[in-house]
Every structure is written in structure tokens, then in C-alpha cells.
Amino acid sequence: MKKKTKYESLYRKNPDTGRVIIDIALEDYLDFFHVWDNSVLRKRDIHSELVQFLDLCSEDIPLRKDLEIVFTLNIDERSEEKEEMIRVSYKNYFNSIKRLEHRKTKRFVKNSITLLLIALILLTLYGLLNDINQSSLLSRVFLESLLIGGWVFTWEAVHLLFIDIIEPFRRRKEIERFLEADLSFRYL
């Protein structure tokens, strides 16, 4: 018998689709939305604690696993209109987060290119001015500053482009998974 992994012991699995199920209990449809958001119901934000809960669950579950989110409501009467509002609000929220992460990635790339250009300018200046007679201490300090600055800017550009950018890419994958998740409702 196959040993269960940590997430398999915490979350159910839909036997039909193979998706990992995140169960969320709500007293009412309005519990889905942020309490202090007074905008029109269709444009309301998701409750911040619900978003934190979804993020925590997503960290437990490997990114390769698809999700199904089941909202269990403690109400007598089903409202397809309110279910649809929750679905629309859910999609809008994660689409906006996806756009923010995309902008963040673009900003990392743009900053990295800027840093590389500055590094190239500093290293080129160093190469051109290195042939000049370095008789004074000030000129030697200036040349060493160009060299060190060029390498520091190069390292920062490489760090941004290849290390810091990993997290926004991972976050975008998580958001894509949330956008592709099946939403369903159960009633007590």
C-alpha cells in the first residue's frame, strides 16, 4: 500500500477528477466577501482571511496537482445568482493578482537590463581609462571604483534576473492553478 504524503492526509481527493479538494465552510454567501468592502456586491473583494487560507493550502499541495474548492454553506435556500457572483468575484480577484505578478516580473526584467547597461558603461570606462598613466592615488581609486561598481551592478542584474524572478514565476503558477480550479457548493 502506498504511503500517504502530508497533503494527502490533510486534503480529500475527488475520485472522479483526481483534483485535490480544499473545503471551505461559510455561514452565508456574504462570508466569502470582505466585510469592510462597501462596493457593489459584484465588485467586492474576497475576504482577506479566506485568501490567506487558500494561500496556506496551496503551499501544502504540490503545484502539479489540480484543485477543487468546495464551499459548504450552512443555509436552507440555494441561490444560483449568489453562487455565480462568488465565481465571478473569485475569478476577478485572481486575475487581478495575476496581472500584478506579471507587472512585477516585467519590472524585474526591466531593472535587470538597466543594471546591466550601467555595468557595461562602468566596465567600458574602466577599460578605456585603464591605459592612462595612473600616477595619482585619486586616479587609481577612481579606476578601481569603476571596476568594482561594474561588477557589483553586473551581479545585481544577474541576481534579479535569475534568482529574484523565481518567486514571481512560482506565484504566477499558483494563481493559474487557482484560476483553473473547479468551484462547487454544498449545502447543509
For 113-146, the pLDDT digits (tens) are: 999 999 999 999 999 888 776 678 888 888 999 9
pLDDT score of 119: 97
Residue 76 has a pLDDT of: 82
Cell digits for 83? 453562487
Instruction: Kindly list the domain boundaries of the chain, sorted by start residue.
Output: 6-100+181-187, 102-167
Q: What is the pLDDT of residue 130?
A: 83
Specify the pTM.
0.80
CB-CB contact of 44 with 37 (8 Å): yes
Give the separation between CA 183 and CA 84, rounded to whole angstroms: 10
Look at residue 36 in the predicted model and tell me its pLDDT: 58
The pLDDT, as a whole number, for residue 188 is: 83
- Under-50 pLDDT residues of the chain: 41
Cell 465552510, located at residue: 25
State the greatest distance between any 2 C-alpha atoms of the chain, in Å, as a whole number.
89
